[in-house]
Amino acid sequence: MMANDGFGCWVQKFFSERGLVDKVRRHRSCLALAGGYAPLANYAVFGYEPELYQFVSLGLAALIGLLSGWKFRWLCALMRNSPTRLKVNAAWFLFGLVGSFVGAIIWLKWLLPNFAQS
């Protein structure tokens, strides 16, 4: 997932920066749909086609990583080229990404070992 995060950031440089607000909105909707339906798809594949489970699970993680990495350049361009109000909103969005990273570190370092012991 992290490799595809970087790959998504690299691929995104080949797209134009026109209509950034609409692009970010569409992109976030696709990411929300992929992330929301990924567990359901995993369960369905595991129940109906168990031999494909690992392939589908890794593919969904790769897709979400790709979509996740795609947004960074657009957000930086939004903050660079937009009026103050939009810059503040983009800054809060980036602040949310930092919060997600901190939450992942807390999960890996503290919560996961404690849940594994119980």
16-23 mean pLDDT:
76
Rounded CA gap, 7 and 3, in Å? 6
> Which of 22-26, 59-63, 105-109 is modeled with the greatest confidence?
59-63
The predicted pLDDT at position 106 comes to 75
Whether the Cβ atoms of residue 45 and residue 52 lie closer than 8 Å to each other: yes
The predicted pLDDT at position 99 comes to 72
Amino acid residing at 109:
K
Amino acid residing at 26:
R
Whether the Cβ atoms of residue 12 and residue 73 lie closer than 8 Å to each other: yes
The predicted pLDDT at position 112 comes to 66
pLDDT higher than threshold 60 for residue 65: yes
- Mean pLDDT over each residue of the chain, to the nearest integer: 76
